[in-house]
Amino acid sequence: MDIATIIGIVSGFGLISIAIILGGSPAIFINVPSLVVVIGGTLAATLINYPLADVLSIFGPVRKAFFHKESDPGELIDSLIQFATVARREGILALESKASETEDEFLGKSIQLAIDGTAPELIKDILTTEVAFMEDRHARGQGILSAMGASAPAFGMIGTLIGLVQMLATMEDPSAIGAGMAVALITTLYGAILANVIFLPTAAKLKIRTSSELLSKEITIEGILSIQSGDNPRVVEQKLKAFISPADRVAVGTDAA
Amino acid sequence: MDIATIIGIVSGFGLISIAIILGGSPAIFINVPSLVVVIGGTLAATLINYPLADVLSIFGPVRKAFFHKESDPGELIDSLIQFATVARREGILALESKASETEDEFLGKSIQLAIDGTAPELIKDILTTEVAFMEDRHARGQGILSAMGASAPAFGMIGTLIGLVQMLATMEDPSAIGAGMAVALITTLYGAILANVIFLPTAAKLKIRTSSELLSKEITIEGILSIQSGDNPRVVEQKLKAFISPADRVAVGTDAA
Amino acid sequence: MDIATIIGIVSGFGLISIAIILGGSPAIFINVPSLVVVIGGTLAATLINYPLADVLSIFGPVRKAFFHKESDPGELIDSLIQFATVARREGILALESKASETEDEFLGKSIQLAIDGTAPELIKDILTTEVAFMEDRHARGQGILSAMGASAPAFGMIGTLIGLVQMLATMEDPSAIGAGMAVALITTLYGAILANVIFLPTAAKLKIRTSSELLSKEITIEGILSIQSGDNPRVVEQKLKAFISPADRVAVGTDAA
Amino acid sequence: MDIATIIGIVSGFGLISIAIILGGSPAIFINVPSLVVVIGGTLAATLINYPLADVLSIFGPVRKAFFHKESDPGELIDSLIQFATVARREGILALESKASETEDEFLGKSIQLAIDGTAPELIKDILTTEVAFMEDRHARGQGILSAMGASAPAFGMIGTLIGLVQMLATMEDPSAIGAGMAVALITTLYGAILANVIFLPTAAKLKIRTSSELLSKEITIEGILSIQSGDNPRVVEQKLKAFISPADRVAVGTDAA
Amino acid sequence: MDIATIIGIVSGFGLISIAIILGGSPAIFINVPSLVVVIGGTLAATLINYPLADVLSIFGPVRKAFFHKESDPGELIDSLIQFATVARREGILALESKASETEDEFLGKSIQLAIDGTAPELIKDILTTEVAFMEDRHARGQGILSAMGASAPAFGMIGTLIGLVQMLATMEDPSAIGAGMAVALITTLYGAILANVIFLPTAAKLKIRTSSELLSKEITIEGILSIQSGDNPRVVEQKLKAFISPADRVAVGTDAA
C-alpha cells in the first residue's frame, strides 16, 4: 500500500477541514448544488473527451496509484538470482513451483514461458508487447486524470458565475449579498480542491508509478532471458544490477551477504 | 453511435440547467446579445484563422465525434480472417460480393483493389496515401475546435467588458448595478460553457477517434495484403493480432472458438 | 482575395459594434488615450522585440493573409500537364511564351530556368533555396503577429491599471467611480479585441497560408523537373497527383476529361 | 557555499519585510491558519504526487542548491594535470595519497579505480552510470520543487476562498469586512511568496547546478582515463581544456604559468 | 546602434508617461516602496535562480541588444571576397594588415589563424568552439531576462497583496480606501511595465540577435577556410552567397558591380 498517497490525501483534506472548522461554521461549506455542478460537470466533460470504455477502465490505474505495493527492484533481482541458482542446479523445470507461488503475475507468466521452452525471441516479443500495452493503458489513465484536473476548476468557475448572476439579478436586499456571494464562491473552492488535492497529484503519481513498474518489468524480462540461456547466477546478478543505482546495489545479491 | 459523447453533452447541459433552475429564475440566463457576441465572435475568429473551405468541412469530423460507430478492431480482424478463408478456398475473386456488402467503405475499397489484381506495392501506396489525407483532415478539424475553445472564453470576456463599461458609464441608480453586472457576467458564462462542454472535449475526442480509426485502417491494409499474397488464414490471424492488446486477443479468431 | 479573412474581420467588428450600439451610448467606447496606450505600447514592444527591418517587412506577409489569391493546386497541376504536352510536342523552348504569360511569378521563373537549359540539380537547388527563404520570411511575420497578440492584452492591462490608480487616488465624489472605472476598463477591452480579432487569428492564418503556398511551390518544382527531363504528360500527371488528396484528384487532368 | 542563493533568499525576504514594516503593523501579516493551509497543503499534494522516499530525499539536492561549493572546472583541470605529471614521473600508484586527500568524492573514487588497474572501459562504465543516476536524482529533486512551486499558489487561493466564504457568510457588521478580507488575502500572499522566492528559483538553480556538476564529472572521467593510458601531461591539458570556454582557458595549466 | 530597441523603449515609456500625465497627477504614480519590492524582488529571485557570475555577466549580452551594430552579412561577404582577391594576388600573408584593421574581432582572429598557417581542421575546430560558447553565453543571458520577465509581475502581485492587506486591516475611514488601493495597484503596474516593456522584449531581441550573429560567424568561418585553401574569389563569392536570401544576393559581390 502506498503510504505517501494516503497520507497526502488524508492530510490535505484534514488541513482544509481544520481551516474551515477553525473559522466557526463548517456547515456553510457544504452545498450540494455546487458539488453536483463541479463533479457532474467534470464527469460529463470527461465522457465527451474519452470513449466510455476508457473512462470506465480508469479505476484500475487509479486504484494502483493508491494501493500499489511498491515493487522493490532489489527484491525482484534477489528473487531472479535465486531462480537462476535453482535453474542452474536442478534444471529450468524446477522453477515450475516458483511460477505458481509468486504474487507478481508478470514474473509468473515470464517463468512459465521459459519453462515451456518458448524461443527467446518469442518470449521477448510477447513480454515487451504486454509491457507496451500496459504503458499505453497507464498513459490513458493519466490523460483522463489530467483532463479532469483541467475541467474541475473550469466547472468551479461556471458554477460560481451561475451563482453570481442569480445573486446579482435578484438582489433586493443589499445585506444578503454576502451570503449569496459565499455560496457562489464555494463552487470555485470545490473545483480548486478537487484539482489540486486529487486529480493533478494522482495523475503525476500514476506517471511515476508507470516508470517504476516499467523498470521492474524490464528487469524481469532481462532476468528470465538470462536464466533461460543458462547463465551463471553471478552473470545474472551483474546484468540485472546495471538497472539499479550504485547506492542500491549494495543491498542486493552477493554484496548483501 | 458514440454513447459517451451524447451522455456527456446531455448531462453537462442538464446539470448546468438544473443548477440554474434550482436558483429560481432561469429566464435571466437567456440573453441574446451575449449569445451573439460569444458564438458570432468565435465564428468570426475561426474564419480569420482558417480558410473558408476548412471551416465548412469541419462538420464531417465533428459529426464523426458524435455519431461515430466505434469500429471494433476485434470484429474487423474476424472479418479479415473469414475473408482469408474464403479466398484460400474459392479464390480471391470470391470476395467480390463481400466487397459490395461491407459497410466499411475503406475495407470495401481495399478488397476491390486486391480483386482487381493491383500490385501489392501499389495497393499499399494508394491506401496509405488515403489514410494520410484522412489524418490530415482530422487534424485540421481538431485544430479548428481547439481554436474555437480558445476563442470562446476570450469573446466571453470581451462581451463582459462591453457590458461592464456600459453599466458603469451610465450608472445613475446604484441599485441597478446588480442587474447590469449579472447581464455582463452572462457572456463570460456562455464562453466558459461553450469551451468546456463543447469545443475542448470534442477536440480531444476527435484526436482519440483518429488514433482508433488509424488502427483499423492499418489492420485492414495489413490484412488485405496478407490475403492477396495467399497467406493461410492462421498466418493472417497471427499477423493481425499483433495490433491489439493481449487481453483483447482472446476474443478474436480461433481463440474465441 | 481571401473571403474568409475579410468576412471574419468585418463580422467580428460588426458583432462587437452591434453589442455596443444595442447598449445605447456608443460614444463612451471611444477613448483616444486608451487606443494610444494599447496600439502604441504594442508597437513599441514589437520594435524592442524585433529588428526594425523585420517589423517594416511585416506588411507583405500580412497583406498576403488578407488578399491572397488562394492558389488551387488542382489548377496548377492542370497547367503543368498542359505545359508538358506543349514541351513534348513542340520542344521545351515553346514554353517561352507561357513563362511570360503566367501570373504565378515562381512558376514563370521555374519555366525560364528550364528553358535556359540549366542543369536539373541546379534548378532544384535555386528553387528550394528560394522556398526556404520564403518560409523563413513568413515564419518571421507570423512570429511578429503572435508577439503582438501577446503584447496587446498586456498593454490593455497596463492602461487599465493606470486608469484605476488615477481614479482611486483622486476619488472625491464616490458617484464618479463608475465613469472612471468604465474608462479604465476600455483599455483592457481594446487589448482583448485587437489580440483576439486581429493579431492571433491572422498569425494562425499566415501559418496555414505558408503550408498551402509551400505545397504549390513543391508541385511546381517537381513538375518543371519532370517536364525538363522529357517525361510523358501522363507521367507528369501521375507524379503531381500524389501531392493532392484522393478526393481532389478526380477534378484534375485526364480524370476530369 | 553558494553566495547568490543566500543573498537572494535573504534579500527577497528582507525586502518583503521592509515593505510590510513600512506599512506600520507587521503583526497583521502573521496568520498561523493561513500558513498551515499553504505549507501543509503543498506538502500534502507533494506526497500524493511523489513516492515518500523521493520526497524525503529532496533535502540532499536542495541543500546542494544552498551550500554547494561551486566546483571550478579550471581548478579541477589544474589538479588533473598535476596528477598526470605525478603519474608520469612516479607511476600511477603514486596517486594513492592524492585519492585519499581530495575532498571531491567522485575524483577520489575515479583515481582509486585507475590505481586498482581496472580496465578503461569498465572505469568509464562505472563512472558514467554513477553520473547518470546523479542526474536522475537531481531531476527528481527539481521536479518536486517545481511541483511545490505550482501547488503553493493553488493552496494560497484555496485558503483565500475559505476565508472569503467564512467572512461573507457570517457578515453581520459591514465594517468588519475589511479585516476579514485582509486575513483571507494573506493566504494568497503566502502562496505567492513561497512559490516565487523559494520553490521556483531553487528548482531553476538546481537545474543549473546539475549541468555544472555534470561538466566537472565529465572532465574528471576524461582526465582519469587519459592519465591511466599514460598520456603526457600536455596532452591531458589539451583534452580537458576543450571542455571550458576559450576565455577561461587562459587561467588554466601552462597558459597560467 | 540598434535603432528599433531604442525607439521601442523610449516610445514605450513615453506613451505610458503621456497617458499618466494626461490623467492629471503624475506624482501619484511614483511610489518608492513599490519600486523596491518589484525591482528588488525580481533581482533577489534572479540571484537564487542563477549563479552570481552569470547574473553579473548579463550586462554584456543586454548591452548588445541595445547598442549592437547590426552586422550586415552582405558587407561581410564583400570584405571576404576582397580578402580572397588580395590573397590570390599577393599571397595570404598580405592579409596581415587587414587582420589588424578590421573592427570585427572574430574576423580578425580568423584571418590571423589562416596567416599563421594553422591546419584547416584546427581553424574550424577553434572557431566553431568559440561560436558554441558565444551561443551558450547568449542563451544564458536570454534565460535570465526571461526569468526576470516572469518574476516581475509575480513580485508586482506580491506588493499589491501586501498593500491590500495593510489597507483592509487598518481601514477605519472608508473614504481612504481609494487612495490605499491606488497605492497597492501601483506595484502591479510596475511589474507589468517592467516585464512587457523591458524584460520580455529584450529577451526576444537577444534571441534574434544571436541567430544573426551566428550567421555572420558561419559566413566568416566558411570564407576564411575557402580563402586559405586558395579558392578563386568567384568561388568564394558563390559559396558565401548561399548563406543569404536570393533578394539580398543582388547587392553583393560581382552582381552589385
- Chain A residue numbers with beta carbons less than 8 Å from the beta carbon of D129 are 242, 246
Query: What mean pLDDT comes out for the span A123-138?
Result: 89
The pLDDT value recorded for residue C70 is 64
Query: What mean pLDDT comes out for the span B103-120?
Result: 89
Q: pLDDT class for B178, splitting at 50, 70, 90?
A: confident
Please name the residue ranges forming H helices in chain B.
3-22, 32-35, 41-49, 52-56, 59-67, 73-90, 96-101, 105-115, 120-169, 177-193, 200-228, 233-241, 246-249
Of B45, B136, B162, Cβ closest to residue C23: B162
- Nearest Cα residue in chain A from D133: A245
- All three cell numbers of D145, joined, read 520543487
Q: Is D12–E51 a contact, with Cβ atoms under 8 angstroms apart? A: no
Of A49, A158, A169, Cβ closest to residue B182: A169
Chain E residues 49-68 with CB within 8 Å of chain D = 49-52, 54-55
Q: Is E48–D22 a contact, with Cβ atoms under 8 angstroms apart? A: no
Instruction: Give the residue, C39 or E67, on which the prediction is more confident.
Output: C39
In this predicted structure, which of A68-72, B141-145, E186-190, E211-215 has the lowest mean pLDDT?
Answer: A68-72
pLDDT digits (tens, 9 = 90+) for A174-192: 666 777 888 889 999 999 9
The pLDDT value recorded for residue B97 is 85
Q: Is E12–C166 a contact, with Cβ atoms under 8 angstroms apart? A: no
Q: Which of B155, B149, B140, B138 is nearest to B201 (CA)?
A: B149
CA contacts within 13 A on the Cβ side of A199: 22
ipTM field: 0.85
Mean pLDDT score of chain A: 87
Question: Cα separations (Å) of C222 from B32, C216, C219, D83?
Answer: 53, 10, 5, 62
pLDDT > 80? residue A256: no
pLDDT > 60? residue E257: no
Quote the CA–CA distance of A146 and A152 in Å, as a whole number. Answer: 10
Q: Is E159–D19 a contact, with Cβ atoms under 8 angstroms apart? A: yes
Q: Is C161–E7 a contact, with Cβ atoms under 8 angstroms apart? A: no
Low-confidence stretches of chain D (pLDDT beneath 70): 1-2, 61, 64-70, 171-176, 255-257
- Touching, A vs E (3+ Cβ pairs under 8 A): no
Percent of chain A with pLDDT over 70: 93
Q: Is D11–E130 a contact, with Cβ atoms under 8 angstroms apart? A: no
Burial of residue D103 (number of CB atoms within 10 Å: 0-12, 13-18, 19+): exposed
The pLDDT value recorded for residue E58 is 76
pLDDT > 70? residue A196: yes
Mean pLDDT score of chain E: 87
Q: Which of D145, D148, D124 is nearest to D210 (CA)?
A: D145
pTM of the complete model: 0.88
Q: Is C29–B161 a contact, with Cβ atoms under 8 angstroms apart? A: no
- Chain C residue numbers with beta carbons less than 8 Å from the beta carbon of E9 are 44, 48
E32 touching chain D per CB within 8 A: no
Q: Is D37–A23 a contact, with Cβ atoms under 8 angstroms apart? A: no
Quote the CA–CA distance of E100 and E112 in Å, as a whole number. Answer: 9
Q: Which of B60, B65, B57, B68 is nearest to B9 (CA)?
A: B65
D171 touching chain E per CB within 8 A: no
- Chain C residue numbers with beta carbons less than 8 Å from the beta carbon of B158 are 16, 189, 192-193, 196
Per-residue burial over E199-238, b if 16 or more Cβ lie within 10 Å, else e, is bbbbbbbbbbbbeebeebbbbbbbbbbbbbeebebeebbe
Q: Which of E144, E106, E141 is nearest to E126 (CA)?
A: E106
In this predicted structure, which of A53-57, A220-224, C118-122 has the lowest mean pLDDT?
Answer: A53-57
pLDDT > 90? residue A81: yes
Interface with chain E: mutation pick from C48, C124, C127, highest number of E CBs within 10 Å: C48
B165 touching chain C per CB within 8 A: yes
Cβ pair D5, D205 in contact under 8 A: yes
- Nearest Cα residue in chain E from D22: E33
The pLDDT value recorded for residue C1 is 46
pLDDT > 60? residue B257: no
Cβ pair E113, E126 in contact under 8 A: yes
The pLDDT value recorded for residue B1 is 46
Of C54, C158, C167, Cβ closest to residue E193: C158
Q: Is D205–E165 a contact, with Cβ atoms under 8 angstroms apart? A: no
Q: pLDDT class for B158, splitting at 50, 70, 90?
A: very high
CA angle at A136 for the pair A134 and A138, rounded to the nearest 5°:
70
Interface with chain E: mutation pick from D30, D38, D142, D189, highest number of E CBs within 10 Å: D189
pLDDT > 70? residue E181: yes
CA angle at C45 for the pair C44 and C51, rounded to the nearest 5°:
85
B4 touching chain A per CB within 8 A: yes
Q: Is D12–E45 a contact, with Cβ atoms under 8 angstroms apart? A: yes
Question: Cα separations (Å) of B39 from A155, B30, C29?
Answer: 19, 14, 22
Query: What mean pLDDT comes out for the span E15-26?
Result: 85
Shortest Cα distance from D173 to chain A (angstroms)? 10
pLDDT digits (tens, 9 = 90+) for B57-82: 777 767 766 666 667 888 899 999 99
Chains in touch with D (3+ beta-carbon pairs under 8 Å) read A, E
Low-confidence stretches of chain C (pLDDT beneath 50): 1
Q: Is D29–E162 a contact, with Cβ atoms under 8 angstroms apart? A: yes
Quote the CA–CA distance of A200 and E37 in Å, as a whole number. Answer: 32
pLDDT digits (tens, 9 = 90+) for B115-127: 988 899 999 998 9
The pLDDT value recorded for residue A197 is 94
A164 touching chain B per CB within 8 A: yes
Q: Is B50–C246 a contact, with Cβ atoms under 8 angstroms apart? A: no
Q: Is E179–C157 a contact, with Cβ atoms under 8 angstroms apart? A: no
Q: What is the DSSP string of C41-74?
A: HHHHHHHHHS-HHHHHTTHHHHHHHHH-----HH
Of E4, E23, E245, Cβ closest to residue C162: E23
Instruction: Give the residue, C191 or A136, on which the prediction is more confident.
Output: C191
Q: pLDDT class for E197, splitting at 50, 70, 90?
A: very high
Q: pLDDT class for E161, splitting at 50, 70, 90?
A: very high
Q: Is A192–D47 a contact, with Cβ atoms under 8 angstroms apart? A: no
Q: Which of A21, B133, B30 is nearest to C241 (CA)?
A: B133
- Chain E residue numbers with beta carbons less than 8 Å from the beta carbon of C46 are 8, 201
Shortest Cα distance from D222 to chain A (angstroms)? 20
Residues 6+ apart with CB under 8 A from E13: E197
Q: Is D9–E147 a contact, with Cβ atoms under 8 angstroms apart? A: no
The pLDDT value recorded for residue A33 is 87
- Nearest Cα residue in chain A from D48: A5
Q: Is E202–C47 a contact, with Cβ atoms under 8 angstroms apart? A: no
CA contacts within 13 A on the Cβ side of E5: 22
Q: pLDDT class for B218, splitting at 50, 70, 90?
A: very high
The pLDDT value recorded for residue D175 is 65
pLDDT > 70? residue B161: yes
